Structure 1
Amino acid sequence: MSKKFQNIFFTFGLVVLSIMVYNLDFNDAWQKIQHAGYWFLAVVVLWAFLYIFNTAAWFTIIRSQTHGVEERRKISFLWLYKVTVSGFALNYATPGGLMGGEPYRIMELTPKIGTERATSSVVLYAMTHIFSHFWFWLISIFLYVFTQPINLAKGMMLAVVSVFCLSAIWFFLTGYKKGLAARVLNIVRHIPLIKRWAEPFIDSHKSELDRIDSQIASLHNQNPRTFLIVVLLELSCRICSALEIFFILLVLLPSANYFDCLLILAFTSLFANMLFFMPLQLGGREGGFLMSIKDLGLTLEVGIFVALLVRIRELIWTAIGLLLIKLDKKVEEDAR
């Protein structure tokens, strides 16, 4: 990627990050970090390992699309790890989530494997990342049913969420089989204001979109084992990320239950993703923590404690990701 675009991504992310840090209550944050002690350090370090799952999933997709030893040598796991962390940092800082990290990933990968394969691998990874969320939420519904008391209101809510998750899983499976790029843009071309841009873009790039869709479909149709590995890697990351909540709860509740942490994470991520248009999902994540913790019989103080430490961890890793954008050349040289 050119230095110009690197600076644009870095500056935009830095501005948004600065605004969010400015709105943080430093005294309260520092007190809670001190109270958490080494458990907070464990939470921050945990994500260095969780990003390995994400990188491995994307790396597997890219290797399934590249051929020959020389072509595969162009992309090292360490370099892709850097791009993964930076991409998620931009996603966290950008309203709309995928609006920031995915263009950055495509632009970084294009010089190595070309625009079409870079685009299809990024689209495939984004699809799989979202796809795993729906599976995680669906599994969490069964976990909730078997571990928590259910009344009529909760039963109706769980039924609605189940239908939503199953519908989304069906949509993504169809997209994996037939491709998704052209289908999504065909929907976009009917949206007011956007269709003026979308229609000429689709008409002028029809052959490229068809090739991208064929590459997307090939992972599911021709490499079902690879597809399963990628989905399991992303789903494993979702499940292991509940360790973050578990570590924080251990500070206040030595008898913390890991299954409860999975349910807290599932409900919080579902609620926060409903507010995808907010940078770092501000407010949605905190609200999800408070509601889910209250539903499991824990105090609001516990919810505030967990939500704040998770937010601080996100800010730390967002800063790390933005810094890695500026360290692009050094990381690439070290990887060779």
Structure 2
Amino acid sequence: MSLLVDMMANSLDAGYAEATARRAVRGDTGMNKGPAARVLAIVGVALIAMILMVAAMKVHAAAPQAERERHQLVDRIHTDEDEVDALQDTVERLRGELDAVQELSLPKGAQERVKMLGLLAGSEPAEGSGLKVVADDAKEVPNTNGTSDPRAAEAAANGRILDRDLQRLVNGLWKAGAQAIAINGQRLTSLSAIRAAGASILVDNRPLAPPYTILAIGDAKPMQVEFMVGSDGRYLRGLQEYGIRINVGTQKKIKLSPAIGTVLRYATVPGAVPGAAPTSSAAPGGAPGTAAPGTALPSGKSPSPNASQNRNPPPSASAKPTASQIPTPKSSERKDKQ
């Protein structure tokens, strides 16, 4: 206890006190107040002030340059977007001219076959009843802000829609009998791909933002039942456990635009006469010469009243595994999505 009291009463060590007393006796204050010392002090202060001034001038000069470069980049982006829109308008105009020429040059049966092939390939607009699936991130998705906290990263991934989730939903709709599908207005074809680029989801290299609205044309009620009672419906309910918002409902009328940049390709039998019409036009899952029941027809057409029970929908390239091969989402699976 006495040691603590001594430390509080005499905070300065005795040796320092003796040295200070000796310097006071000699008249030595420890500071050189001669002319040379004052000159050095002035020079040092001037150099520091000059360095600070030069640094401030450089920062001030660099700020307008960075702002100009930013504005130039934004202007380039807007210009490129305008060019893309103009080219898209040109594509639509040429597509309309091509359709008009086809209607004049092809016989009636060939026109219907070309429209049906274009519908299945995604190059023709589609219209009919179907399902509407809206998937959105959890209401409060944690923002990691670039931190490396694994718990924050895991929580952010669990509450966010990922590319594999959209792949699973799309493949489930194909399996349930969908004839045409679009995500946020982006029509899917057999060549479509759903990928992730950082935190963004790309569909055919086009970035999409949540909420993700999936429109699927087909026989609405049977398709909804098939989708919800199967493994894909269980996967959907598993996503909801993480706070992801999912809404599934039927739509009496859905219109889907054609896929952008899709070119209708076809194959011919080796040795066949070019331009010769085939003897039958069998649609997938249907009898020769007839469209598959329940198939979505081009805009302005009506689907067959009988729903198809055995049609195998065109597989989507947006997901590599089939829907039945992926287990329901568990904690370990959501962790692997980061």
| TM-score where L is the length of structure 2 | 0.23
TM-score normalised by structure 1 residue count: 0.23
In terms of fraction of residues, the more helix-rich structure is 1
Structure number with bigger Rg: 2
Higher relative contact order (CA 8 A, sep 6+): 1
Q: Greater strand share, 1 or 2?
A: 2
